[in-house]
Structure 1
Amino acid sequence: MGKHPQRTVFYGTLMLLTTMISGLFVRDLPWLALRVAAYIGLFVIAAVGFVMTFRDYS
């Protein structure tokens, strides 16, 4: 996924935006355990998106 450098940055940014928007829906989940699990998953996705976006700027 993302062999072209410009596409990799685009995919990473898209992952970060999706994570932020999804977090708005996760906060309304009824069970605390489900919210915690969803936030952990969103954190992992955001970390991957951050690395994909900023890996070429080091």
Structure 2
Amino acid sequence: MVDREQRTPFYGVVMILAALGASMAVSYYGPAWFRVTVYILAVLVVLVGGVMTFRDYSR
């Protein structure tokens, strides 16, 4: 269980970086509805990634 707890912040950071990369990739190209969809999904992924990254496992 300890091994998984050490990987969780890493997965959170990867999720945040993937969401930022997806947002940058669609910022100039593609239809507006697609960009808005990606931005909304990116916000959700960043929130989940932030919780995973900054969760306290000290208990």
With structure 1 as the length reference, what TM-score do the two structures score? 0.80
Q: Which residue of 2 aligns with 1:47?
A: 47
Runs of 5+ unmatched residues, structure 1: none
List runs of 5+ in structure 2 lacking aligned partners: none
Identity over aligned pairs, percent: 40
CA RMSD of aligned residues (A): 1.7
Q: What SS does the corresponding residue of 1:56 show, helix, strand or coil?
A: coil
Aligned equivalent of 1:6: 6
**TM-score under structure 2 length normalisation:** 0.79
User: How big is the shift at 1:5?
Assistant: 1.3
Residues 1:33 and 2:33 aligned together: yes
**Aligned residue pairs: how many?**
55
